[in-house]
Structure 1
Amino acid sequence: MGIFRGWRLLFLSLPLLVFVPLLFSVSELHRKPNLEQDLSKNHAKKFDHLVLGPAAGQGLPNRLQCQGLKALNKTHSLPSSRMLSSSDNISFVTVFAVYNSSQIACRDDKLCNTVIVGNASYNKVERSMAILDTFINFIQVSVPKSNVVILSDPASELPIHRNNVHLLHIHGDYSREKLMLQRIKSYIAFLETRYEEYIQRKNHLDNYIFTDSDVAVVDDLGDVFKKYPDFHLALTFRNNKDQPLNSGFIAVRGTPDGILKAKIFLQQVLEVYNSKYMKASRMLGDQLALAWVVKSHPSFDVKRFTRPEAFLDEIHGASVLFLPCAVYNWTPPEGAGQFHGMPLDVKVVHFKGSRKRLMLESWNFYTSYAASDYSDMLCLILRSGRTKYDF
Structure 2
Amino acid sequence: MLSRRACSGWKRFVLCLPVIFFFVHMLPATVCTISTQREAKKFDHLVLGPASGEGLPDHLQCQGTKALNKTSIRTFSNDSHSEDLVVFVTVFATYNSTVDWRVNGRPVDLVTIGDTSYNKVERSMAILNVFTNFIQVTMPQSDIIIITDPASELPVHRNKVLHRLSRDKAQGAISEAEIRLKEQYQRQGQVRHYIFTDSDIAVVNDLGQIFDHCPNFDMAITFRNNKEQPLNSGFIAVRGTAKGILRAKVLLQEVLKVYSSKFMKASRMLGDQLALFWVVKSQPSFDVRRFTRREAFIDEIGGASVLFLPFSSYNWTPPEGAGQFHGMPLDVKVVHFKGSRKQLMLESWNFLNSSPSSDISEMLCLILKSGRTKYDF
* TM-score computed with the length of structure 1 as normaliser: 0.79
Cα distance in 2, alignment partners of residues 213 and 254 from structure 1: 21
Structure 2 Cα separation of the partners of residues 256 and 136 of structure 1? 27
Matched ranges for 1:34-53 at <5 A? 45-53=41-49
Query: Which AA in structure 2 matches 1:271?
Result: K
Where does residue 208 of structure 2 map in the other structure? 222
**1:366-388: CA deviation from partner (whole Å, max 9, x where unpaired):** 01112463010000000000110
Picking from 349, 364, 372, the partner of 1:378 is: 364
- Aligned residue number for residue 130 of structure 1: 126
Residues 60-75 of structure 1 mapped to structure 2, 5 A cutoff: 60-75=56-71
RMSD: 2.5
1:143 paired residue number: 139
Residue aligning to 1:172: 167
Q: Which residue of structure 1 aligns with residue 224 of structure 2?
A: 238
- Deviation digits for residues 314-364 of structure 1 (CA, Å, limit 9, x no counterpart): 001011000001000000113533121000000000001110110000001
State whether residues 90 and 208 of structure 1, in contact with CA within 8 Å, keep that contact through their aligned partners in structure 2: yes
2:58 and 2:172 mapped to 1: Cα distance?
A: 40
Question: Following the alignment from structure 2 to structure 1, what is the Cα–Cα distance between the partners of residues 45 and 200?
Answer: 19
Distance 1:305 1:120, change over 3 A: same
Asked if residue 58 in structure 1 is aligned to residue 44 in structure 2, the reply is: no
Going from structure 1 to structure 2, the CA distance change for 1:364 and 1:218 (only over 3 Å counts) comes to same
Give the structure with higher Rg (CA): 1
User: Superposition pairs for residues 216-295 of structure 1, below 5 Å?
Assistant: 216-295=202-281
Contact conserved, 1:150 with 1:165, CA < 8 A, in 2?
yes
State the identity as a percent: 65
- Shift in Å, 1:92: 0.7
Residues 269, 286 of structure 1: 8 Å contact kept: yes
Q: Structure 1 residues 322, 44: CA separation in 2 closer, same or farther (over 3 Å shift)?
A: farther
The verdict on how the C-alpha distance between 1:328 and 1:268 changes in structure 2, with shifts beyond 3 A counting, is: same
Structure-2 residue corresponding to 1:209 = 195
SS of the counterpart of 1:284? Answer: helix
1:337 and 1:82 map into 2 onto residues whose CA distance is 35
- One-letter amino acid matched to 1:71: A
Distance 1:341 1:329, change over 3 A: same
Alignment partners' CA distance in 2, 1:98 and 1:308: 36
- DSSP-derived class of the 1:360 partner: helix
**1:283 Cα deviation from its structure 2 partner:** 2.1
Corresponding residue for 1:12?
none
Q: Secondary structure at the match of 2:131?
A: helix
**Structure 1, residues 173-214: CA drift from partner, whole Å, max 9, x if none?**
5xxxxxxxxxxx84x667665556677896454100111000
CA distance in 2 between partners of 1:144 and 1:233 (Å): 23
What SS does the corresponding residue of 1:278 show, helix, strand or coil? coil
Secondary structure in structure 2 of the residue aligned to 1:361: helix
Residue 103 of structure 1 aligns with an amino acid whose one-letter code is V
How far apart are the structure 1 equivalents of 2:65 and 2:172? 43
Letter in 1 for 2:252: L
Tell me whether 61-70 or 326-335 shows the greater mean CA deviation: 326-335
Which has the larger share of helix? 1
Contact preservation (8 Å) 2:235, 2:315? yes
1:91 to 87, 92, 116: 87
SS of the aligned residue for 1:149 comes to strand
Which deviations, in whole Å up to 9, do the C-alpha atoms of 1:10-38 show, x marking residues without a partner? xxxxxxxxxxxxxxxxxxxxxxxxxxxxx
Provide the C-alpha distance between the structure 2 equivalents of 1:353 and 1:273, rounded to a whole number of angstroms: 22
Give CA deviations for 1:27-78 in whole Å, capped at 9, x if unaligned: xxxxxxxxxxxxxxxx973211100000000111010000111001114547
Equivalent-residue separation in structure 2 for 1:52 and 1:229 (angstroms):
41
Structure 2, unmatched stretches of 5+, are 1-38
Alpha carbons of structure 1 residues 228 and 169: separation in structure 2 relative to 1, 3 Å: same
Q: Does the CA-based 8 Å contact 2:131-2:202 persist in structure 1?
A: yes
Letter in 2 for 1:254: G
Task: Quickly say closer, same or farther: Cα 1:201–1:142, change in 2 above 3 A.
Answer: closer
The residue identity in structure 2 corresponding to 1:163 is: R
Distance 1:343 1:200, change over 3 A: closer
The structure showing larger relative contact order (alpha-carbon pairs under 8 Å, at least 6 residues apart) is 2
1:307 corresponds to which residue? 293
Q: State TM-score, norm by structure 2.
A: 0.82
Q: Post-superposition shift, 1:100?
A: 1.1
Following superposition, the deviation at residue 143 of structure 1 comes to 0.5
Q: Which runs of 5+ in 1 are unaligned?
A: 1-42, 174-184
Note if contact 2:150-2:164 (Cα within 8 Å) is conserved in structure 1. Answer: yes
